[in-house]
Structure 1
């Protein structure tokens, strides 16, 4: 029997300061109905890239990915990403087909929740000025007060 080499899964809602972070989508749509547009290829985070988002925080303009922090993340339960699970449970699907995402093959959310995560992903922004009640609830780690950041 052959053992499969462990792969590093990527968090699709990473912070730009995380080691190995890359921008993989641009936030479009409106504050009330954000939608992300996927980049043709992920772009490594640099000071120049972050400066291009000014005067707003980079997480309001871009979606970032980085290796999943697992136990160092408040959303990780030791085996799964609770954020991905809650997004699938609480958020409506906004896409009926798989979006043109370039990180899917290594995405923790897709590996864990499958197509259901992808159907919700286009509406997820890492920092929302006006989050819906469902997004706030999904983004709030167990035992914490509601937050607009995921």
Structure 2
């Protein structure tokens, strides 16, 4: 009887241990489910971060392209401004050759040509008469100029 009673106690203790083990396993299952949901959330977050990093990478590539285009435009603008400066200098030099508002143009050569004697009005009429000695009507018109 004592053995049966001791066995019963041990079986009771075993049942209690099995009950506790069941409860512990239940808690383990709950914890594993929580860990599973956390891992799923981490995976979703990692996927979102990967998508975000892809977008950031695309934006950086676009910025790089725009920066390269801007650098090319700055280079072209610099070349154009240098060309414009050279053309403005040449234009200033060319305009500097004109004399505006002066009554007499300054000769460029240091040697002056000898002055030609001026023709008198009578000599001018004679020259015109010689040029138009083609007919009597022309001669009559020129005769009027002699008196003038």
User: With structure 2 as the length reference, what TM-score do the two structures score?
Assistant: 0.11
Structure with higher Rg: it is: 2
Structure with higher RCO (Cα < 8 A, 6+ apart):
1
By percentage of residues, which structure has more helix? 2
